[in-house]
């Protein structure tokens, strides 16, 4: 299961290694479409990369900090710095390749 991040836990979670952060909301149909894909990625990359979520309604300051204007937005971090971002529903293969390229 993917870890839900908050403003308090975000910085610690992304500070080292590779982390994919799914910025979304429970009311967003495209975000719900991404949910099973994000869960599969979390299982596939367990122990090698983190796959996490941020609810933009619960943590609007994080969405603002990373300029999230539409959801879902998926941001890939390496050692605390954003290295890639995608907007909208993405195929699992595309996201897996992006994660793999940073490992």
**β-pairing verdict for 18-24 and 73-78:** antiparallel
Q: Dihedral of CA 14/25/95/93: which sign?
A: positive
Which one of 18, 21, 31, 38 is the catalytic residue?
31
Query: Is 37 marked active-site?
Result: no
Query: Is 28 marked active-site?
Result: yes
* CA gap 21, 101 in Å, rounded: 16
Which one of 28, 85, 87, 89 is the catalytic residue?
28
Q: Which residues are catalytic?
A: 28, 31
């Amino acid at each position: 299961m993917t870890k839900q991040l908050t403003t308090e836990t975000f910085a610690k979670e992304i500070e080292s290694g590779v982390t994919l952060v799914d910025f979304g909301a429970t009311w967003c149909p495209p975000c719900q479409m991404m949910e099973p894909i994000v869960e599969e990625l979390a299982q596939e990359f367990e122990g090698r990369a983190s796959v996490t979520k941020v609810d933009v309604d619960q943590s609007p300051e994080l969405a603002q900090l990373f300029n999230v204007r539409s959801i879902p937005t998926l941001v890939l971090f390496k050692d605390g710095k954003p290295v890639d971002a995608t907007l909208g529903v993405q195929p699992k293969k595309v996201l897996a390749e992006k994660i793999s390229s940073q490992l």
